Structure 1
Amino acid sequence: MSESLASGAHRAPQTTLRHKLAELRGPAVVPRPMDARALAALAANPGCRRRALLDGAGVDKTVLASKLGSPAAYGQSQFAIMRGNAFEAKVKADGGRELLRLLGIDDAAEVHVPDLAAAGPEGRAARTSLALREAAEAGAWTLLDHPLLALEVAGSPVFLEPDAVVVRPDGRWTVVEIKSFPMIDGSADAAKVGAAARQAAVYVLALERIAAVTEGARVAHSVLLVCPKDFSNLPTASAVDVRKQVAVTRRQLARLTRIEDIAAALPEGLTFDVETCSAEQLTEAVEAVPHAYAPECLAACELAFHCRERARCAGAVEVLGRSVRGELGGLTTIGAVLEAARGSVGAEAADEAEDPTVTAVRRARALRAEALEAVACR
C-alpha cells in the first residue's frame, strides 16, 4: 500500500509538469520531439533557460522564429535530408549487408536483428531496453535498427533514436552513426565529424543508463561513423573516439536548470502557442524567459537571430563571444566597457576598488591610442 502511494506521489509531479508544458506549447499543438542533435546543442549552452524550456515543451522553434520576424537559416535542407536517407537505406539494404561488411561479418545469418516495434515512445524504449538485455545474455552479434533510447534531461524524459546499435558477442554496445558527408582518403570534414561525435555522445549516455543495470554489458566510447567513400556512394567506416564529448555532455546536462523550476517562474497564463498567438504576444512570452545568447548559437538554434537582435539592443557583451564575456568580468554591457575605458565616474569608483578588468580595459585603450598615433605619424 505504501509503495502504491509513493508511486502515485512520484507520478503526480510528472503529470503536473506535462500539463504545464502542454499549456505553454498550446493544447492543440503537437509537441516537437527533441532529438540528439537538439540535445547536443542544448548541452553546448546549458545556461540558456529559453531553449531548455522551449525544447522541453516541444515548441517548434522554426515556426516560432518566423512568427517573431526572425526566421532562421539553421537546419538541414530537404536535399540534404533526402540524400542522407538514401545513403542510410543503401547501408542497411539486404538486411544490412554493407553495414555488416564494415563490421567484418560476412554471413548475415550470424546476426540477430530483433523487432523493436511497440506502441508509443515509452513502449519502443522499453522494447529496446529488453532487446539490449537479451542480446547481452545471448552473447551473439545483434543489430538494433533505429532503437529508441530514453534519457532524463532537466527532469524531463527525452527519447532518442540512433541510426543503429551493434551488440558484440563480448557484450560491448557500439553506436553506429550514418552520415552522407564524404570521407576522402580516410578523413572527413573536421567540423562535421565533431558535430556527429557530439550527437553520438548523447546516445552513449542513454545507453550507459541501460548498461548500468545489465550484467556483462558495457558501452564502447568509440562510435562507428559510416560515410560515403571518396566521391562514390560506397560506404566506408571509421571509429571515432567520443570520450571527451561524453564527459562534456554529461557535465553540461547536469548543469541544466530543471524545466519545472523554469516553468514555475513564468507569469500565469503565458503561452508559446504559435497557432493562436500574435507576434506581439509571442514576443512578450519569449522575453519572459532568460536567454544566454552566444555567436555559436547561430549554427545551432532556430531562435539565434531573434536573441542576437535583443542582445544587441541591450548592448550585451555576449554578442562579442563567450571568451570576451569571460574576460570582461563585471562589465556586462558594451556601454559599461566604453565608460570604463574612458574613465567615467562609475568606472573611477570601480577603479578605486582596484578592479583588474577596468585596469585592463583602460590599458587596452591607451595601447590603441598609441598605435593609432604611430600610424598617423608615418
Structure 2
Amino acid sequence: MNASLGSGPESTPPPVRPDAAVPVRQRLAELRGPAVAPHPLDARALAALAANPGCERRTLLDGAGVNKAVLAQALGSPAPFGQSQFAFMRGNAFEARVKSDGGTELLRLLGVDDPAAAGALTPDVSAAGPEGRTARTALALREATAAKAWTLLDHPMLALEVAGTPVYLEPDAVVVHPDGRWTVVEIKSFPMLDGSADPSKVGAAARQAAVYVLALERVAAKVPGAEVRDRVLLVCPKDFSNLPTGSTVDVRKQLSVTRRQLGRMRRVAELAEALPEGTTFDPSCGPEELTAAVSAVDAAYAPECLAACELAFHCREQSRGAGAVEALGRSVRGELGGLTTVGAVLDAAAGRAGDPADPTVAALRRAAELRAEALASAGRG
C-alpha cells in the first residue's frame, strides 16, 4: 500500500511556493512571538488534530508551532496533560529492554523463528536537524530494502505535510523485512493482560501509528520493492511484569479516516492571513490580549477535546458562555439540527419559538410534556 496523503479527491493543496515560503514562516513566527521557538508536533497531537479537522483554532496553533500548554497557562485555563516523571522513566526503561540485543526481541515478536541467527542490521539514523534526520532515514530505508535483510531503525525521523506545513514525526521503531515490507512498531507501557489491553488505549495507539504509516508511505513510494504494512506491531508489558509481548493491530480504518481528515484541513497560511494585523499568541502578553487573539480563530469544541487538547478548558468555558450546544457533545449537536444554542433549544421545547412542523422541535416539545407529566406524578406520590 503505497498511496500517499495527497491521493484521492480530498487531497491536500500543493505545497507553498518557494518564493512564498519565507513570508509564511515569518508570519507564523510573529504569531508565536519573536522570542518563542516553535513547538514541534508529534504523532499523538497530529492524530488528535485529524480527529477534529473542523477546529481551525487548533490547526493554526499547531501549524504555527504554538505551545498550547503554555498558552493555556497564560490564559488562566491550564490543562492537566503529560506523564509523570515515574511513568516517563518506566516507559523509557521498557522501550530499552524491547530494543536490546540488536532488535532480537522485536524480531521474535514479529514471528521470526531464530531472531539471533537473523541478525538484524541497526543503521545509524542520526543527523543534524529534523531535515537531516529525515533524509538520513529515507536513505537507510532505501539501503535496507535493497539489502534484503532484517533491519531495525531506532527512532527514525519522518516528514508529513499537514495543512501546507511540514510536520516531523519520530516513531519508536520501524522494521524492514527481507521481502521489502516495512512495519511500524509502537511501544507502550500500559499492560497487556491475558493477551488483550485496554481498548481505548489500543485505539489511541492505532491512531498514532496510522500517522506514522502515512508518513512512511511517502518514502516507500520512491523506493523500488518497498511496501508499508497496514498492520503495526504494538508492544506492551505482559500482564504485571516487565516482559514484552506483542500484538498485531490492523490500522486500515484509522489510515482511511486520518487521510481523509487531514485532507479536509485548511492551509495554515490561509488561516494566518485572515487574522487581524498584530494578532499574536506570545505567552508574554496579557490574558485579555491573548483571549482576543484566540477568539479571532474559530474553534470546534466538543467534550472529547478534554482528553486531547491543552486548550480544551478555555474553549469549554467559551462554548458554555455562548450557550453553544456543542458543549453537550457532537451527537447532541447532530440531533438538534438548526438549533445551535441551549437557549434556542429551551425556547423550542417550551413552545416559545420554533416551527411545530419541524421534527426536532416536535420531539423537544413532546419530551418537555413527558417530563412535566413525570414531575407531576412524582409530586402526587
Residue 50 (structure 1) aligns with: 57
Gaps of 5+ in 1: 1-7
Residue 87 (structure 2) aligns with: 80
Residue 116 (structure 1) aligns with: 125
Residue 295 (structure 1) aligns with: 303
* 1:281 and 2:289 matched: yes
* 1:90 and 2:93 matched: no
Residue 5 (structure 2) aligns with: none
* CA deviation map 1:6-57 (0-9, x unaligned): xx99212222211111110012111110000000010111111111111111
Asked if structure 2 preserves the Cα contact closer than 8 Å seen for 1:222 and 1:243, the reply is yes
Structure 2 residue identity aligned to 1:170: D
SS at match of 1:230: coil
Asked if structure 2 preserves the Cα contact closer than 8 Å seen for 1:97 and 1:108, the reply is no
> Alpha-carbon deviation of 1:374?
3.2
Asked if structure 2 preserves the Cα contact closer than 8 Å seen for 1:207 and 1:219, the reply is yes
Residue 159 (structure 1) aligns with: 168
Aligned length: 365
* CA deviation map 1:240-295 (0-9, x unaligned): 11111111111111111111111111001111111x31122111111111111100
Residue 310 (structure 1) aligns with: 318
> Alpha-carbon deviation of 1:359?
1.8
CA RMSD of aligned residues (A): 1.6
Q: Distance in 1 between matches of 2:289 and 2:89?
A: 36
Asked if structure 2 preserves the Cα contact closer than 8 Å seen for 1:50 and 1:289, the reply is yes
Residue 238 (structure 1) aligns with: 247
1:100 to 103, 107, 111: 107
Percent identity, aligned pairs only, is: 72
Q: Distance in 2 between matches of 1:96 and 1:141?
A: 10
Residue 379 (structure 2) aligns with: 376
Q: State the TM-score, normalized to the length of structure 2.
A: 0.92
Asked if structure 1 preserves the Cα contact closer than 8 Å seen for 2:16 and 2:164, the reply is no
SS at match of 2:246: strand
> Alpha-carbon deviation of 1:365?
1.3
> Alpha-carbon deviation of 1:326?
0.6
* CA deviation map 1:331-370 (0-9, x unaligned): 00000000111111x42xx34xx32222221122122223
Structure 2 residue identity aligned to 1:362: R
Asked if structure 1 preserves the Cα contact closer than 8 Å seen for 2:53 and 2:265, the reply is yes
Q: State the TM-score, normalized to the length of structure 1.
A: 0.93
Q: Distance in 2 between matches of 1:100 and 1:220?
A: 16
* CA deviation map 1:293-339 (0-9, x unaligned): 10000000111111101111100001110000011111000000001
Q: What does 1:1-12 align with in structure 2 at a 5 Å threshold?
A: 10-12=17-19
* 1:258 and 2:267 matched: yes
* CA deviation map 1:175-201 (0-9, x unaligned): 000111111111111111111111001
1:337 to 342, 345, 348: 345
SS at match of 1:364: helix
Higher deviation after alignment, 112-121 or 200-209:
112-121
Q: Distance in 2 between matches of 1:363 and 1:147?
A: 59
Structure 1 residue identity aligned to 2:292: E
Whose helix proportion is higher, 1 or 2?
A: 1
Residue 11 (structure 2) aligns with: none
> Alpha-carbon deviation of 1:216?
1.3
Asked if structure 2 preserves the Cα contact closer than 8 Å seen for 1:33 and 1:58, the reply is yes
Higher deviation after alignment, 358-367 or 59-68:
358-367
Residue 325 (structure 1) aligns with: 333
Structure 2 residue identity aligned to 1:295: P
Structure 2 residue identity aligned to 1:342: A
> Alpha-carbon deviation of 1:156?
0.7
Q: Distance in 2 between matches of 1:280 and 1:310?
A: 14
Structure 2 residue identity aligned to 1:370: E
Q: Distance in 1 between matches of 2:331 and 2:137?
A: 42
Runs (4+) of structure 1 exceeding 6 A deviation are: none
